[in-house]
Amino acid sequence: MTRKFFGTDGIRGRTNEAPMTAAMAQRIGQAAGAHFLRGEHRHRVVIGKDTRLSGYMMETALVSGFTSVGMDVVMVGPVPTPAVAMLTHSMRADLGVMISASHNKFVDNGIKLFGPDGYKLSDKDEMAIEALLEQEPRLVPAEQIGRSRRIEDARGRYIHAAKLTFPKHLRLDGLKVVIDCANGAAYQVAPSALWELGATVIAIGVEPNGLNINDGCGSTDPTVLKETVVASGADIGLALDGDADRLIVVDEEGESIDGDQLMALIGSSWHRRGRLRGGGIVSTVMSNLGLERYMNELGLRLERTQVGDRYVLEAMRARGYNVGGEQSGHIILSEYATTGDGLVAGLQILAELVAQDKPASELLKLFEPLPQLLKSVRYGGGAPLEADKVKAAIAAGEAALGDKGRLVIRKSGTEPVIRVMAEGEDEALVARIVNEICEEVKAA
C-alpha cells in the first residue's frame, strides 16, 4: 500500500497548502493521538518546533487535535529534532512531535513523529495513522479532554545530554569554533554547549525572525560560515540545518567537509578504540564510492540503504551497527541518540580534533572522493522515469560507467523532484551522463 501523506521524513509541504494546513495538523494530532492511546494511564505527547513563523499555527492546531482525543500535551518550544526524540523517551511520553521542514526555507513546514522509545515511526505505524486520517476522529467526552502546558527547561536538559557525549577527559579550551545555527532550532543550545565545554565560540545564524531559517546560512549554504572561519582564524566551523539533525563542517582553510568524510573519521577512530560495532558503518546509496573503498581498506564494511536517515537507522538497529548517516550530514550515533544529531556529531569531531592535535584540513580528509554529480529535475506529475527514452538514457549511462562507477536515480521523498546522481573515475563522463538523463527527464 502506498503512503499518501508520509514521505521519507514525516509529512512535509508548503504551509497553508495541503497537506500542511492547520486543519490537517489538527487531524494528524487526532489520528496519531488515537493510534498511541494504549492502557489506562494519562497519555502524554511532547511537541517541539523550529523557528519558522508557521510553527505557531501548526503547534496550536496539533495541541487542539491531541487534546480532543484525550492526550495531554507538553510544549517545549524551539529545540532540535534530536531533543524532541530524547525528551519523548526521558519524559515517558507516548508520542513526540517535531514541527519542522528541516533544511527547507520558511515557506515549508513539516511534522515528524516519534514513538515512545524516541525512534521515528515505522512504516506500519505511519500506515495506521494514514488510515485513521481517512476516518472521523474518535473524540473523547468533555471530562476526558487533555490538558496542555509549556515547560522551560527543555533546552537545558538537551544541552546537558549533549555534553555527556563528549569525552570526560577532554576540553575545548583554546579551540576557536564558528557555529552556524541556520537561524533555526539550535540557535540557543548549540553555542551554549560549545561554550560550556571551553571553546571560544563565534555564533552566526542565531537571530531567527520566523522568515530567515536556512536563508543564506546553515548546512545547505555554508558561504558565510566559510568566510567567517577564515576571517576569524578559527580552527573549525560547524553548520547545522534548521532542525539541527544534520551537520556540515568547514576546515580552517574554508573548505567544506561533507557527511561521508565525517562518517569516515568517526567510524575509523571508533574502530581503533574498539568502540565500533557491526564491523562497519551504514550509509545510503548516495554516499561516495571513495568512502566505501576507504572502509574496505580498514577491513570494514559500508552497508548501503535507500535514501533517508530512518532507513539508515533501521539497518543499524537490525544488524547491530552504532555509526551511520548520510552524505548530506545526518550522522546517527546510536549510543547517544535515536536520530541524527548535528550537535552531538559535531562534538565527536571536535573531540578528535583535540585528541589527535591535527588541523581540521588534515584530520577530515581521509579519502579522495570519486567525481560525483547530483542534479535535480522538478516535475509536475506523471511518471517520467517510466518513459522509454528516459529508461534508454539510464541504461546507456550504466553501461558507460561499468564497474568503475555508480548511477542512482530516484524520486525525492520530500519534494516533487527527480534526483539524478552519477559518480565514476572520469569526471567528464559523469557530467555527460547526468546531463543526458536530466534532459530526457525534462522532456518526459
C-alpha dist (Å) from residue 438 to 17, 185, 211, 289, 409: 28, 35, 32, 22, 10
List 411's β-bridge partners, or say none: 418
Q: Rounded to whole angstroms, how far apart are CA atoms 94 and 80?
A: 19
Which of 68, 100, 102, 192 is the catalytic position?
102
Determine how many CB atoms are found less than 10 A away from the CB of residue 23. Answer: 11
102 is catalytic: yes
C-alpha dist (Å) from residue 60 to 29, 57, 63, 310: 10, 5, 5, 27
The C-alpha angle 24, 28, 34, rounded to 5 degrees, equals 145
Q: Are 376 and 396 in contact (CB under 8 A)?
A: no
Sequence letter at residue 10: G
How far does CA 369 lie from the centroid of its chain?
A: 22
Determine how many CB atoms are found less than 10 A away from the CB of residue 151. Answer: 14
What stretches of 170-222 show up as alpha helix (H) in DSSP? 189-196
What stretches of 186-338 show up as alpha helix (H) in DSSP? 189-196, 223-232, 259-272, 289-297, 309-319
Max distance between CA atoms of the chain, in angstroms, equals: 69
Q: Strands of 11-14's sheet, edge to edge?
A: 11-14, 108-114, 95-99, 44-49, 72-78, 148-150
Q: How many residues does the chain have?
A: 444
List 280's β-bridge partners, or say none: 301
Q: Are 238 and 247 in contact (CB under 8 A)?
A: yes
Written as nine digits, the cell of 403 is 564497474
Q: Rounded to whole angstroms, how far apart are CA atoms 382 and 114?
A: 32
Packing angle between helix 388-401 and helix 427-443, nearest 10 degrees?
Answer: 170
Task: Work out whether strand 372-378 and strand 417-424 pair parallel, antiparallel, or are unpaired.
Answer: antiparallel
Which one, of 95, 149, 137, lies nearest residue 117 by Cα? 95
| Residues labelled catalytic | 102
